[in-house]
Structure formats: C-alpha cells, structure tokens
Amino acid sequence: MRVGLLGLGRIGEFHAATLSSLVDELVVSDADAARVAAVAEKYGATTGDPFDADAVVIATPTSTHAELLIRACDKGVPAFCEKPAAPTVGETLEVVDAVERSGTMVHIGFQRRFDAGYTAARQALLDGELGDLHRVHMLTGDPAPPPAGYVAQSGGIFRDCHIHDFDILRWVTGREVETVYAIGSNRGADFFAAAGDVDNSAAVLTLDDGTLVTMQGSRYNGNGYDVRMELAGTRATWAVGLSARSPLHSADGLTPHGDPWPDFQTRFEDAYVAEMGAFLAAARGERESPCTARDALAALYLAEAADLSHREGRPVALREVTA
C-alpha cells in the first residue's frame, strides 16, 4: 500500500513510525518543511501529495479535520483521522454527509477500542460473565496540564479529554446515554478559567437501560497518567486499566509496583499500533470501518451535553443536543 500522512506533530510522528513498518510507501506532509524532511529521512518516507495514495492518515490540528476528511471523500480515498472528526456538531454533520454520500471508508481515531483491557471487558459483558450491568465508573487523569495555547483551542475538557470516555462507554456497554449531569472546578492555572474551561471534572450519566455511570477527570493527576474503567454487574466486577503501572498508592498494601504511566502515548502504544493495522485492513476492503464518522458524532453529542450541563448547572437530556 501507498499511504499518505498529513501532520507530523507528536501523534503524527508516532503514526509515521508505525506506518513505516506496515506499508510499502509512506508519503508525509506537514506545514513545517524542516519537520517533513526530518521525518522523511528518519522513517524512509517520501514527500508529495498525501491524497495521491491508497489511503490517507490525518493527524493535523482539529480545525483542519473536516476540510481534509471531505477532501478525502471527494477523492474516494479511505481516511483515518484523529479524534474529533470536527470541532463542532455542524461540521461533523457535514463530514457524516460526505462520508455517506460518497461511500468512502472513514475511521476516526478512538484508540481505546483497540486496548486489550477494554476489548476483554466488552467481551466479558457480551458473554454474560458480569451478569446484568448496574454501575460503571470511568476516570481520565493527565499527569500535568497541556499548554495554555492548547487549552484555549481544545474545546474544553469534555470535548478534548472526556470524548474518549464517552466513546468507550458506548462501545463497551453497547448502550446509549439518555441524560448527563456534569460539573467542574478550577484548582490550578488561571488559563483554564480564562478559556472558559475547567481543570477537574465529574459527571453522572444515565444509560438507556437505567445503568448509572460516574465519570471523573483531572489535568493535575501528578503521580502519572491514569485511565480506568470499572464495570459492576450482578455476577462480577471488572476493572480496566488497573495494572502494575497504575499511578496509585493503596493504604492496604496493594500499591502497584511498576513505574507509573507517564503519558497517553506510552499507556496506549499497543492500542495505537493495533488501531492502525485495523484501519489499513479496512482500507483494503477486508473489514468494516472500526469507528465511523457517526460514532464520532455520537461521542461529540455527549461532550456537548456535558458542556451544556456544566454551564447551566442542570441535568441535560441527550435529545436536547441531538435535536
């Protein structure tokens, strides 16, 4: 395969390393010419039009995603795009329309779907090992906050950070969310409040079968990167993300003993690689898209509902934002 890669920042270069071992030719592109030259030399890639390929991987800033995805659809080139598909619901709907009108295969990057723990928990739930699911808890904690400039353009903690929680909740449980009640606080740097954002968050969600979900997030989880999910059923409780490298200390002597996860790339390295392999298989027509533009829209609706709930201080029914 000949695969184009747009965007060579932190996650883009990670994808370059993965793709260089999976495809016959990698064509790289970025606004920074020096970065293009360095990455091309490092991974044996070529330069040129990334859309003149069998598939394209989009790892550019969020503001460019919709335009590039629509271009891929117009050209009929299978596309992988890092989340989100677009920064707004309106633009995401335009992407969905372009995808479905053209029939082009598009995969939006929600790498947790390819993590071994989440995959095992989903299968256990499907197989009935947990019994009837009654409660879910999710946590996403960054060890340190992102730069102020990033926060101002991120869309807020619910769209930028928790959108992964919203997607994996739908995927693991197979259910949809009916209501969201979200709150947040500012305990750290002033630039979060200046951007209309929060640095700590919590939410209660109700699924369409009555299952209760709690969710927490923080930009100041100083001991390391912490992402976990607990699923409590009538037969068993399963935890995802509880390992020797979890950044936890137990008062009962069960403290993990490995080096804490330093960041999301390290924690989900295997999942990112598996995800790219799945995309290439879909681009070759060997399977369906692992995560469609409509999946991205569903996760964004939940982020919109959480943000509205936080701003207005009330529970929000999902139908308020999907309408």
Interval 28-77: pLDDT, tens? 999 999 999 999 999 999 999 999 999 999 999 999 999 999 999 999 99
Q: Which two tokens stand for residue 5?
A: 């890669």
Does CATH number 3.40.50.720 belong to domain 2-112+273-290? yes
SS3 232: strand
Longest dimension (CA), the chain: 58
Confidence of residue 255 (pLDDT cuts 50, 70, 90): confident
pLDDT at residue 256 tops 90: no
pLDDT at 174: 98
pLDDT of residue 190: 97
pTM over 0.85: yes
What is the model's pLDDT at position 308? Answer: 98
Beta-bridged to residue 229, according to DSSP, are 138, 240
List 107's β-bridge partners, or say none. 80
pLDDT one-digit tens code per residue, 83-124 = 999 999 999 999 999 999 999 999 999 999 999 999 999 999
pLDDT, tens digit (0-9, with 9 covering 90-100), for 208-250:
999 999 999 999 999 999 999 999 999 999 999 999 999 998 8
What residues does each domain of the chain span?
A: 2-112+273-290, 115-264+299-322
Taking residue 149's Cβ as centre, other Cβ atoms within 10 Å add up to 10
- Are residues 212 and 132 in contact, defined by beta-carbon separation less than 8 angstroms? no
Instruction: Say which residues have a Cβ less than 8 Å from residue 49's Cβ, sequence separation at least 6.
Output: 4, 27, 29
Arch. (CATH architecture) of 115-264+299-322: 2-Layer Sandwich (3.30)
**Is residue 254 predicted with pLDDT exceeding 90?**
no
For the residues of 190-214, what is the DSSP string, one character each? HHHHHTT--SEEEEEEEETTS-EEE
Mean pLDDT of the region 23-29: 98
Average pLDDT score over residue span 306-320: 98
pLDDT at residue 258, as a whole number:
85
- Work out the percent of the chain whose per-residue pLDDT is above 70: 100
The answer to whether residue 182 scores a pLDDT higher than 90 is yes
